């Protein structure tokens, strides 16, 4: 069974904006809604047939912008994760590992995009990633407060 797939989201990666309030109700800003829809369409086209929506997932993304503006890659990853609800997983609470990267140098004008990789992890793979991070933290002298 295929346990991962990758795809490109064309256009400028958009951070998820906070919900707005107006006339007594809350709404998602149009720019956020449009980007999440683009993510959903891109993910749907790339998703392998029979891809399961249950399990544990890892989302990795690389964001490429054509300018040098400072951006919040955490919120950009959130837009990717929300756009993939019902496409790569039933709900983004099933994402137990996430990586967001952005090169420090811009890409050519008009070539902005996001590269996204979705992996369905086994319990062994998930706990192996956790153990690896715990080992690094231990080497660096991190103290656990339990």
- Residues 71, 102: contact at Cβ < 8 Å? yes
> pTM to 2 decimals?
0.90
The answer, yes or no, to whether residue 20 has pLDDT greater than 70, is no
Domain boundaries, the chain: 4-121
Concatenated DSSP letters for 34-46? Answer: HHHHHHHHHHHHH
41-87 pLDDT tens trace: 999 999 999 999 999 999 999 999 999 998 899 999 999 999 999 99
- 144 pLDDT tier (thresholds 50, 70, 90): low
* Percent above pLDDT 70 for the chain: 95
Residue 119's contacts (CB-CB under 8 Å, 6 or more residues apart) are: 3, 4, 57, 58, 60
Top CATH class of 4-121 equals alpha beta
């Amino acid at each position: 069974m295929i346990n991962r797939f990758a795809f490109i989201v064309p256009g400028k990666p958009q951070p998820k904006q906070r919900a707005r309030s107006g006339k007594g109700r809350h709404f998602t800003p149009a720019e956020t809604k449009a980007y999440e829809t683009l993510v959903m369409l891109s993910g749907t086209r790339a998703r392998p047939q029979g891809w399961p929506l249950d399990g544990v997932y890892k989302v990795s993304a690389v964001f490429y912008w054509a300018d040098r503006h400072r951006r919040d890659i955490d919120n950009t990853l959130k837009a990717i994760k929300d756009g993939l609800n019902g496409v790569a997983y039933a709900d983004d609470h099933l994402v137990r590992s996430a990586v967001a990267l952005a090169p420090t140098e811009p890409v050519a004008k008009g070539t902005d995009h996001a590269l996204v990789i979705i992996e369905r992890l086994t319990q062994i793979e998930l706990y192996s990633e956790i153990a690896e991070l715990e080992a690094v933290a231990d080497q660096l002298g991190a103290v656990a407060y339990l």
